[in-house]
């Protein structure tokens, strides 16, 4: 398992800081040996938790032009028809995947195609499951014209803990299903908006894996892995 590039610098400086603090405690607080040992254990645990957050596991990516693949690891918390005001200005089916701090936080392209729209929105840091987080929080909006035809919109949304969104795509880019399009640091969610006639392959409460779990099937004449 690799460590994601977004975490290498953070891990390096965190390790240096924890090592320095522990050495200073051993040198100048030697009388409090019990406290020093507890702090050393806490330091190791904290670093291991940070290490697992930035892990980048190998994935056998599932690709097919009419399938929408989960853009992130997490839990499906929303499936509903809503009005999408930013780009489509009409009713779309929204699927939301909540990412806890223990999930892999790489975000992946749910479909292959051409990026028709991209915008970064600075904003608030409401908890990720708050109803207004998708329109009030810091977020990015990406619209890809899929190879199957329909346009798919997806958003990285920051949460109460997530304070930095990273993205690797811009308008006009050609993107491939399953490849990384960004990273959200320390927990949040990803929203996907598809046409209302899209066939769902998951339910609320399902756990999904980015790049592997099929969450929906777009309406197209192309042959599908799941049949008609």
* Residue 76: CATH number of its domain: 2.70.70.10
Residue 153's pLDDT is 96
User: According to the 3-state scheme, what is the secondary structure of the chain?
Assistant: CEECHHHHHHHHHHHHHHHHHHHHHHHHCCCCHHHHHHHHHHHHHHHHHHHHHCEECCCCCCCCCCEEECCCCEEEEEEEEEEECCCCCEEEEEEEEEECCCCCCEEECCCCEEEEEEEEECCECCCCCCCCHHHHECEEEEEEEECCCCEEEEEEEECCCCCCEEECCCCCCEECCCCEEEEECCCEEEEEEECCCCEECCCCCCEECCCCCEEEECCCCCCCCCCC
Identify the sign of the CA torsion 213, 226, 110, 157: negative
Contacts of 34 (CB under 8 A, 6+ apart): none
Residue 31 belongs to a domain:
yes
Residue 225's pLDDT is 47
Residue 227's pLDDT is 47
Q: Structurally, how many domains does the chain consist of?
A: 2
Low-confidence ranges of the chain (pLDDT < 50): 224-228
Residue 104's pLDDT is 77
Residue 227 belongs to a domain:
no
188 is catalytic: yes
Residue 223 belongs to a domain:
no
Residue 86's pLDDT is 92
For residue range 2-61, list pLDDT tens digits in order: 877 776 788 888 889 989 898 888 888 877 878 888 888 998 988 888 777 777 777 777
Domain that holds residue 37: 2-56
Same domain membership, residue 50 and residue 98: no
Same domain membership, residue 210 and residue 104: yes
Residue 187's pLDDT is 62
Residue 194 belongs to a domain:
yes
Same domain membership, residue 176 and residue 86: yes
- State the catalytic residue, choosing from 133, 176, 188, 224: 188
Same domain membership, residue 74 and residue 15: no
Same domain membership, residue 79 and residue 25: no
């Amino acid at each position: 398992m690799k460590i994601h590039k977004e975490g290498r610098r953070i891990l390096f400086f965190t390790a240096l800081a924890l090592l320095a603090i522990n050495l200073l405690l051993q040198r100048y607080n030697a009388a409090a040996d019990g406290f020093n040992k507890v702090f050393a254990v806490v330091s190791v645990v904290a670093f291991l938790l940070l290490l697992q957050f930035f892990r980048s596991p190998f994935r056998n990516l599932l690709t097919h032009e009419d399938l929408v693949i989960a853009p992130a690891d997490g839990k499906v918390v929303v499936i509903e028809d809503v009005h999408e005001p930013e780009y489509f200005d009409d009713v779309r089916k929204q699927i939301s995947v909540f990412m806890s701090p223990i999930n892999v936080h790489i975000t992946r392209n749910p479909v292959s195609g051409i990026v028709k729209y991209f915008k970064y929105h600075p904003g608030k840091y409401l908890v990720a499951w708050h109803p207004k987080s998708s329109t009030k929080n810091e977020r990015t909006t990406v619209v890809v014209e899929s190879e199957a035809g329909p346009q798919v919109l997806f958003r990285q949304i920051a949460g109460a803990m997530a304070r930095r969104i990273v993205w690797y795509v811009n308008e006009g880019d050609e993107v491939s299903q399953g490849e990384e399009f960004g990273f959200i640091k320390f927990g949040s969610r990803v929203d996907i908006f598809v046409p209302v006639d899209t066939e769902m392959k998951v339910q609320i409460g399902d756990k999904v894996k980015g790049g592997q779990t099929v969450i929906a099937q777009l309406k197209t004449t192309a042959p599908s892995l799941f049949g008609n």
